């Protein structure tokens, strides 16, 4: 089958997904086999919202705290010479992040070290999504990196023996009426994973978080008040007050962990948030609008929302895994080896959800089958373009007004329920009319579902019940 394309010479060319139904660009649902192609206009192919970025947050009508979720481009303010340069920067960050996750989640290298959150050893810094949180009483507004694979919440603190540059003034515990050091013998201190806590000379609980590239944060653990937008302040949250911090976190003051462990934000809030949160990731680019992060369980999920069980890696329980069982292209399920995506008893393999990885990674055999089937469905109707770094399946769509793109479906569970991804979650624009398939091969058996495939889809993670939900509409 060939892509359908309408040629014109007058107009210039121009990152969660585990639902047991089909979600399309228009929020419509249908049989997976009937959704063989999507049509896109390459001259106006963008995931950016029409609104300007905003860091404002507000309480929802249901009382749950809601935060604006900003892509790094809206926070860093960095500009690139071209779209291609921006994507190359993203791919470079991705490579470091994925290398660390693969090392962290390999059965031969798993450790009890805290810190799977952010990899920051490259010049552009790390962290893909950010929120603005008030820390202390009165609240000091700080940008924090959001990470679904992390348990520890921390900020840089005065006095700072070693700190990287951040956008906001350093948090000063002396100016907060609610700051209280956690004693090293307390239950809260013992909740930190083994090897990550200790006692300072003052008797305070000392914490340290290390990252795969040599970045780290060290300091004391404290109980503090956090304010989320205009919502009621949340008291008694354990956070790290970092006095020695090394890394480049794109101006963020620290990190907001949303992982499955007890020290993450949702783990600590417990009954207040129901152990749950929902999010919609904003698109890439400095001109993208804000997404959203909402804390707590939504008791009024729209009709048509579907829930899929989460899987837990006993060796690394902070991460959220899902049971991917197959892939499809152009309405046809691919013939893949059974168990290719299974999470093994020793913690290897599996499919982990990660907001910090952009491009979805698949085992080499699965990726090769997906890539070849996609290219076959495209056919020879459109010119190929040279690959760009790890993105090896690219097309030159310059001058085309309408292009027919084969769908990609993800199958989950024993029943093979399918999610068909919108075209905007399949392709990444390189500039100059070139588009590349936003999937790549993994160097190990680990699969990672990245944020390009998650963008624009309402996702609810309920760690208390062990399910992830996907709304019937895009966001």
- DSSP for 234-278 reads EEEEEEEEEEEEES--TB--EEEE-SSSTTSHHHHHGGGTTTEEE
pLDDT at 109: 61
Q: Please, are residues 472 and 21 in contact by the beta-carbon 8 Å criterion?
A: yes
293/8 Cα distance (integer angstroms): 41
State the average pLDDT over residues 13-32: 34
Domain containing residue 428: 36-45+63-103+126-469
In a domain, 23, yes or no: no
* CATH number (domain holding residue 385): 2.40.70.10
In a domain, 110, yes or no: no
Lowest mean pLDDT segment, chosen from 78-82, 240-244, 412-416, 469-473: 469-473
List the 417-420 sheet strands across, edge first: 332-333, 324-329, 408-412, 417-420
In a domain, 460, yes or no: yes
In a domain, 17, yes or no: no
Q: Please, are residues 367 and 416 in contact by the beta-carbon 8 Å criterion?
A: no
In a domain, 55, yes or no: no
CA dihedral 336, 340, 342, 346 (to 10 degrees): 160
% of the chain residues with pLDDT over 70 = 79
Model pLDDT for residues 102-140, shown as the tens digit of each residue: 988 988 765 444 433 333 333 445 678 999 999 999 999
pTM for the full predicted model:
0.85
User: Structure tokens of 445?
Assistant: 């058996």
In a domain, 459, yes or no: yes
Q: Please, are residues 457 and 47 in contact by the beta-carbon 8 Å criterion?
A: no
**If residue 421 lies in a helix (H) or strand (E), which one and from where to where?**
none
State the average pLDDT over residues 375-402: 93
Residues 151, 354, 396, 462: which is the catalytic one?
Answer: 354
The partner residues of 223 in beta bridges, in order of sequence, read 180, 238
Nearest Cα neighbor of 438 from 381, 377, 380, 374 is 374
Confidence class for position 157, pLDDT limits 50, 70, 90: very high
State the average pLDDT over residues 83-94: 90
Confidence class for position 449, pLDDT limits 50, 70, 90: very high
User: Structure tokens of 170?
Assistant: 């350093």
Per the omega criterion (within 30 degrees of 0), is the bond before 311 cis? Answer: no
Burial of residue 401 (CB within 10 Å: 0-12, 13-18, 19+) is middle
% of the chain residues with pLDDT over 90 = 48
Model pLDDT for residues 321-335, shown as the tens digit of each residue: 999 999 999 999 999
In a domain, 352, yes or no: yes
146/452 Cα distance (integer angstroms): 16
Lowest mean pLDDT segment, chosen from 104-108, 123-127, 169-173, 423-427: 123-127
Nearest Cα neighbor of 72 from 250, 299, 237 is 250
Q: What is the average pLDDT score of the chain?
A: 81
User: Structure tokens of 429?
Assistant: 């624009």
pLDDT at 284: 62
pLDDT at 330: 94
State the average pLDDT over residues 272-282: 84
Residues 147, 213, 298, 396: which is the catalytic one?
Answer: 147
pLDDT at 283: 67
Domain count, the chain: 1
Is 354 catalytic? The answer is yes
In a domain, 15, yes or no: no
pLDDT at 34: 52
Nearest Cα neighbor of 453 from 371, 358, 389 is 358
Distances (CA, A) of 401 to 378, 396, 398: 16, 12, 9
Determine the distance from the C-alpha atom of residue 112 to the mean position of all C-alpha atoms in its chain, rounded to a whole number: 22
Confidence class for position 147, pLDDT limits 50, 70, 90: confident
SS3 166: strand
């Amino acid at each position: 089958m060939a892509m359908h394309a309408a040629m014109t010479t007058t107009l210039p060319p121009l990152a969660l997904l585990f639902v047991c139904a089909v979600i399309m660009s228009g929020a419509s649902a249908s049989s997976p086999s009937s959704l063989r192609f999507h049509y896109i206009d390459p001259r106006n192919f963008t995931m950016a919202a029409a609104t300007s970025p905003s860091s404002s947050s507000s309480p929802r009508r249901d009382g749950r705290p809601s935060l604006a979720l900003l892509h790094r481009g809206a926070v860093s303010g960095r500009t690139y010479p071209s779209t291609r340069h921006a994507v190359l920067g993203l791919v470079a960050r991705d490579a470091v992040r994925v290398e660390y996750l693969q090392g962290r989640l390999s059965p031969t290298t798993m450790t009890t070290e805290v810190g799977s959150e952010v990899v920051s050893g490259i010049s552009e810094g790390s962290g893909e999504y950010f929120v603005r949180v008030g820390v202390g009483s009165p609240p000091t507004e700080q940008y924090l990196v959001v990470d679904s694979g992390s348990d520890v919440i921390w900020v840089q603190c005065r006095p700072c023996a070693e700190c990287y540059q951040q956008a906001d003034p350093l948090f000063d515990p002396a100016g907060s009426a609610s700051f209280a050091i956690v004693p090293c013998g307390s239950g809260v201190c013992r909740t930190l994973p083994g090897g990550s806590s200790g006692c300072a000379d003052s008797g305070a609980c000392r914490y340290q978080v290390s990252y795969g590239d040599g970045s780290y944060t060290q300091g004391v653990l404290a109980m503090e008040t956090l304010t989320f937008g205009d919502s009621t302040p949340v008291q008694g949250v354990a956070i790290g007050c970092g006095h020695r911090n090394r890394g480049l976190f794109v101006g963020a003051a620290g990190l907001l962990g949303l992982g499955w462990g007890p020290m993450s934000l949702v783990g600590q809030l417990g009954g207040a948030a129901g152990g749950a949160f929902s999010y919609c990731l904003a698109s890439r680019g400095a001109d993208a609008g804000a997404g959203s992060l909402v804390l707590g369980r939504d008791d009024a999920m729209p009709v048509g929302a579907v829930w899929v069980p989460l899987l837990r890696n006993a060796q690394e329980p902070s991460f959220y895994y899902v049971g991917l069982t197959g892939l499809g292209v152009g309405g046809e399920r691919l013939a893949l080896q059974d168990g290719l995506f299974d999470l093994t008893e020793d913690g290897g393999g599996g499919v982990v959800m990660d907001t910090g990885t952009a491009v979805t990674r698949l085992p080499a055999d699965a990726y090769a089958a997906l890539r070849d089937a996609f290219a076959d469905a495209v056919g020879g109707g459109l010119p190929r373009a040279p690959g760009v770094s790890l993105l090896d399946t690219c097309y030159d769509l310059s001058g085309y007004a309408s292009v027919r793109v084969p769908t990609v479906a993800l199958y989950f569970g024993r029943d093979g329920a399918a999610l068909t991804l919108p075209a905007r979650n399949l392709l990444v624009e390189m500039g100059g009319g070139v588009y590349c398939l936003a999937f790549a091969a993994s160097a190990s058996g680990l699969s990672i579902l990245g944020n390009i495939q998650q963008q624009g889809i309402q996702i609810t993670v309920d760690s208390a019940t062990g399910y992830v939900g996907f709304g019937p509409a895009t966001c």
